[in-house]
Structure 1
């Protein structure tokens, strides 16, 4: 048994507007199958997508605080010219520059129209085949512990583990990476951005949730009420959800 990351969940005051921003940013399409706005590759709604990790923008009544999100997206570029063009295009779409203490770095830190931080990376060979999202990046205190938990929770392969970072990717070697970076003063905060996981067809969701609890996950009440998904937190308090198979 194992779970697969299928989407990044972003909370937003205006889910439609934030969804449209990310669709334009990634050259994907915003779909509105229900209350949320799902952003995935163009060509028709395919969920779960066999390669891409989509974005599901969920409407909430409260806006983002000034606190930096512990989870963000890194966007891939193919050249220096592509990076500059993408940054300019994103700013025209409503992204704003953000200072998170990054100093003089070759990547550009921006925020989407509701303040969610993300990075436009300089070209890196490791991300040449990921698609527009290079990585889903999570701030943490102990990358080794995160590798143990998330490596056990999902069917993704652990590529690298050091004191400073842990790197996972789909065992098929496709799509974005999942990276945990050791970050000073990494305190649990309400997560504006989190991962949603899905059991494989035929697997039992309740058994998967029990397995996650045995790995160190804890139940989380974010006011979700009676819903078909289960909200949990990993050992460092990062929120995530286990979705019900459709």
Structure 2
């Protein structure tokens, strides 16, 4: 049994507008279905995409708080000129500069139209082939502990595990990285951005959920009834969902 990260889910008051922003930001297409906007590479709504981790924007009644999100996206660039051009284009699309205490760094921190922080990275060789999303970045207290949990939870391959950070990428070496960074502070508000996982065809979702609980995940009591997903939290408190099995 195994699970695959397939999308990053973002809550938004105006999910259609935020979805359009992310589609334009990533150079992808936006697909609306049932009040949710899905953002992914052109060619139709495919889950899972063979390479990309998509973005899903879901409606939420409350706006984002002033608290920094514990999960964010890093966007890749391949030259200083491309980094500058992308930042300019994102600002024109409605992004705003964000200060999360980063200081003088070679990357730029922005926020989408509803305040969700993300980074536009300077060129880094490690991200040369990831596509527009270089990494899904997760703040945590103990990257080694997160690496132990997520190494068992998903079928991605660990690349680096230290006291300060841990990183994973798909076994095929395609798409973005999943990174855990040591960050001070504990969770104080519900997660605005979370990761969605998908079982492989033929695997049972409930069996996967039970397996995750034995690894240390906790059940948040969401996604019951007719909702085709289950919401859990990892040992550091990050919310994530296990979606219905692929057909």
TM-score tier by shorter-chain length is over 0.9
Scaled by the length of structure 2, what TM-score is found? 0.97
Q: Is the 8 A contact 2:223 2:230 kept in 1?
A: no
Gap runs ≥5 in structure 1 = none
CA shift for structure 1 position 43: 2.2
Inter-partner Cα distance in structure 2 for 1:166 and 1:139: 11
Partner of 1:3: 3
Q: Is the 8 A contact 1:137 1:180 kept in 2?
A: yes
Gap runs ≥5 in structure 2 = none
CA shift for structure 1 position 42: 1.1
RMSD value, Cα: 1.2
- The C-alpha deviation readout for 1:55-114, integer Å capped at 9, x for no partner, is 000001111000000000000001000000000000000000000000000000000000
CA shift for structure 1 position 184: 1.1
Partner of 1:194: 194
Q: Is the 8 A contact 2:37 2:57 kept in 1?
A: yes
Inter-partner Cα distance in structure 1 for 2:11 and 2:222: 12
CA shift for structure 1 position 225: 5.9
State how 1:171-190 maps to structure 2 within 5 Å: 171-190=171-190
- The C-alpha deviation readout for 1:164-194, integer Å capped at 9, x for no partner, is 0000000110000000000012335310000
Inter-partner Cα distance in structure 2 for 1:223 and 1:167: 28
SS at match of 1:220: strand
Partner of 1:101: 101
| C-alpha spacing 1:75/1:224, structure 2 compared with 1 (3 Å) | farther
Q: Is the 8 A contact 1:188 1:237 kept in 2?
A: no
